[in-house]
Structure formats: C-alpha cells, structure tokens
Amino acid sequence: MDSFDVLVIGGGPGGYVAAIRSAQLGMRTAVVDEWKTENGKPALGGTCLNVGCIPSKALLDSSHHFEFITRHAKAHGIKVGDAHYDLGLMMQRKNKVVQTLTQGIATLFRKHKVEWLQGHARLVGNLQVEIRPHDKDEKQTVSAAHIIIATGSVPGSIPQAPIDQKHIVDSTGALCFSEAPKRLGVIGAGVIGLELGSLWRRLGSEVIVLEALPDFLPSADHDIARAALKTLVQQGLTITLGARVSETQVTGKGVTLHYQQRGEEQDLSVDKIIVAVGRKPYTETLNIEALGIETDAHGFIGVDDYCRTRVPNIYAIGDVVRGPMLAHKAQEEGMAVAEHIAGQASFVDHDTVPWVIYTWPEIAWVGKTEHSLKAAGVEFRSGSFPFLASGRARAMGETEGLVKVIADAKSDRVLGVHIFGANASELIAETVLAMAFEGDSEDIARTIHAHPTLAEALHEAALAAKGRPIHI
C-alpha cells in the first residue's frame, strides 16, 4: 500500500494549494481528484477553474468589451460601425484560458513532486483512502499520515425548477449556451445570478431575475446594495424581489415559470432559465459519516479554528466547511492546514476575507456592515465618497458607485469597507491589508494615494470617517 505524509482529496483551489504548500514544506504529498472535462480528460482546478470563477470572468470580460464598444465608446470619441460578436470565438477563448490555467497546475505539481491520483476517493478508516481510478476497474487503497478533505461544492437546486441542462440550467450550463437566449430567466439574485444575468444581458438577452428574498443583497452594506440595484436596473436587468417560484413547465417554445409575489400568482415565459440559488458542500460519496465526521443540517463538515475534524489527522477546508464559499478563502485554509501539519503557527482570519461580485461596476466588501454593527450594539463612525467626485473616475467615464469606510467610534479601528464601482475587486485589497494589521481609518487617511487614481476615493472615504473630507 502506497503511503503519503499528506493526502488531499480534491484538486480545486483549496486542495491544490494545500498540496503545493505541503510539498514545499518537505512532505510527500498526493492529490486525489475525479474531475473530468467535457471531453473526458482529467483536469485539475475543480469547479473554480473549470466551470466557475475563471470561465465566467473570461466571458464577463468579453461581454464587457462588447458593451463598451456598442454603448459607451461613442462618449470617448470612438466611432464603431455595426459591431457584432462571435459567441463561438468567445467560448473558444474562454476554453483556452481554462486549459492554460489547469495545465499550469499540473506543471506546478510536477515541479513540487505532488502526485496526481486520478479517480474518485472514499475514506475507509485508519487514515486510508480507497480510490476508483478513471481508466481502471480495480480499486486502489492508499494511506496517509494526514488527510485533507477539499472536495468543494456543487450548484444548489430547487424542486420547482428541475435542471435538465437544456431548458433549465445551472451555473455550469449557463456558461455553455450556443447562442444568447432572447428571453432569459434567472432564479436567484445572489453573486452567481447577478454575474450570469449581466453576462447574457450584455450579449443581447432580455434578463429577468427573480429573488425570493424581499431585500436585494441583504449581506452587503445597504447603501451599496441600493446603489447597485439602481445601476443594474438602469443597465437593463429586470430584478423582481419577493418572488417565490412555485413551478416551471417546459414547453415547445421554452419554459413557463410560475411564481408568487405579494400573495399574487404570476407567470413568466422565457427561452431558458438559470437556477442560481447558491451552492452546497460536496461530501455525499466520501463515507465520512462512517468515520464519525459530523456535518450540520446544510452538509458542512464540523471543524475547529484549525480546520481539524473530530477524527485525528483528518482536516477539511474550503466550501465543505463553515465560512464563505470563496476560492481565496479555501486557498488560505489550505496553506494554513499544511503549515499546521508541519508544526508552524498558522491561522485564517475569516473577518478579513473579501467578497466580490463581478458585475460592472463591481461590488466588493470586507468586514462588518453598518446594519450588523447596529444589531450588535457596536458604536461606529462611517465615511463615504462617491466616484462621481473622483477625477480618475470622471476621466474614465466610470462615475457610478461609492466607497464606504466604517471604523470603531472609540478605537478608530477599521471594521469594514464597502465598494461599488469600477475595479472594486482590486481596490478592496488595500483595505484587507489595513484590517489584517488592525489599522485605523486614520492610517488610511494619512496614507498617500497617487493622483489621479480610483484609490483616492478610498482615501477620501477614510477622511470622511474622520469628518474631514477634502473633495466633497
């Protein structure tokens, strides 16, 4: 029986990072991964690289370029004729980006001598894992001194809209349309629903988003959510809140969707439906229950602050455990666990994990919101600055949105930062660093920001939190 110091189950962002870091620390490491491409070829990277983060951002970027040319280039003095797009070429570019990155992980594995065991893993006790290879009938059993479960998540579903990947699709199917649907329904106005809805709206679809909750982006800062909702609707998305889907019917012409809103029955006819109701942990076939590893009502594996399960030397990271289901959170947990196994002190602060929604403008935040602090009885001060007053945003023609900085009323420590605007995904990193070092709003306010940049809006918001903004 082959034996390893560390065996990682799952080759997604959390798993492959945990494996590489383990190998860097001198441990013999292997990764068991069952992912196959549409062509039946094994590929590393999990959902994020193959059918999630990377392909969606590739298509979002392509659609963003197209919308700029057709809707915004004229304001910059750029005249374009009858612009059109080739969806097939967009998909080819997307696939090439994915292939390059997944092959890159395989190269990193070879460099660090991480063994890639292709097939499905099942825990069988005594720190042993049974592997059913892709290309063989017989099973293989390996052992490890430490096991890291990093099997990720799968798209959520609802019985009212059974997914057939033809008329009713999940997020994976929504990245593979052969043409833009004339009329597209999206169930769920969360991260995935807004991103996919924006993508296909830019490419010509009439997009109707149905959200069961009465509030838009309730986890985000309320000022940010209100500004984002206004802008997304102005762009052309129809967003219906408080809409609970009761039934869907596939017809010869598309799909009829029935939903309730304010006690009234409503119907919606569309060509296709994207079900974007979140994701759920993927643990069903691991046999973890037989080992005494507990899961909660939502399927998340119970772990402590160091990602240890109840079973000694078995860890779990990423989407299968508590905390946000984000690739970068999984990566940090993977590194932390590898370092913990090696005897190093390592810890992930979940309070400084940034969130990003890749609409345009983008939405990003880290830390606490005003409404959560009010509910907890924490005294705070906040300062906001609109991109409308930013010189760089004016020059770019990207004046939508704002930055908000929230600080403790007594200590001035930064408690949260919220951004709706161009490149928010990049701007948020500065504030994550500030919070990681327990920085104050005064620290940001006294940090020199280059002019003209979008980052100056953050500087001004920090000044506003201290009551002394300059440019507004």
- With bands split at pLDDT 50, 70 and 90, how would you rate the model's confidence at 334? very high
Alpha helices in 236-385 (DSSP H): 327-341, 370-376
Q: Do domains 2-155+280-348 and 168-277 have the same CATH topology?
A: yes
Domain 2-155+280-348 adopts which CATH fold? Answer: FAD/NAD(P)-binding domain (3.50.50)
Structure tokens at 82: 């009858």
Structure tokens at 223: 């000022």
Q: Is the dihedral of CA 284, 290, 293, 297 positive or negative?
A: positive
Q: Is the pLDDT of residue 259 over 90?
A: yes
Q: Where are the domains of the chain?
A: 2-155+280-348, 168-277, 352-465
What average pLDDT does the segment 309-315 reach? 97
Phi, psi of 275 (to 5 degrees): -90, 115
Is 459 part of the annotated catalytic residue set? no
Structure tokens at 180: 């833009």
Residue range 368-411, pLDDT digits in tens: 999 999 999 999 999 999 999 999 999 999 999 999 999 999 99
CB atoms under 10 Å from CB of 250, counted, come to 14
Catalytic residue among 120, 451, 459, 471: 451
Residue range 116-166, pLDDT digits in tens: 999 999 999 999 999 999 877 789 999 999 999 999 999 999 999 999 999
CATH number of 168-277: 3.50.50.60
- Mean pLDDT score of the chain, rounded to an integer? 97
CA of residue 370 relative to chain centroid, distance: 23
Structure tokens at 127: 């720190």
Structure tokens at 20: 């590489």
Residue 287's region, left for phi above 0, alpha for psi from -120 to 50, else beta, is left
CATH number of 352-465: 3.30.390.30
pTM: 0.96
- With bands split at pLDDT 50, 70 and 90, how would you rate the model's confidence at 274? very high
Q: How far apart are CA 188 and CA 239, in angstroms?
A: 10
Alpha helices in 370-436 (DSSP H): 370-376, 391-396, 424-436
What pLDDT does residue 209 have? 98
